[in-house]
Amino acid sequence: MNAHRVNIINNLQLISSPGDAVEYQRHAPMVNVAHELVNQWFDDFYHPGSTEFESAFSGDELAELARFHLLFDGKVNELPDDLAALLKSPAWGKVASEAGTVLDRLGWATLVARYDD
């Protein structure tokens, strides 16, 4: 699978799953997972306007991702920089819920996204 698709799908799955975020923190105690969840989306994986990024998704998928991005961007300044506090935050609850909705709408909720060999 294309790297952009893998990264976006896995990031949305991680955002939507508090249990996976806690597990990530348990396996990487030196990492600020709350910070990573935000930075992965905004800095690492979501690149609208990039031809390579946009060619990895259909028009409908890009529209769903843009809609999610708008919600996430509107909540990002309200988010705590600590995983336990983040997971209890109403703003994060909306972001996580919307990530789950996007995954459901696009049929990615249970998809195991892996890089092409």
- Residue 101 located in a structural domain: yes
Q: What is the pLDDT of residue 116?
A: 84
Residue range 33-49: mean pLDDT, rounded: 97
- Cβ neighbourhood burial of 109 (10 Å; 0-12, 13-18, 19+): middle
> Could you give the number of structural domains in the chain?
1
Residue range 90-104: mean pLDDT, rounded: 98
- Residue 113 located in a structural domain: no
Asked if 68 and 16 count as a contact pair (C-beta separation under 8 A), the reply is no
Q: Which candidate, 37, 46, 28, places its Cα nearest to that of 95?
A: 37
- Residue 114 located in a structural domain: no
What is the reported pTM? 0.95
Question: Which residues form the domain of 55?
Answer: 3-105
Is pLDDT of 117 > 90?
A: no
Displacement of CA 113 from its chain's centroid (Å): 13
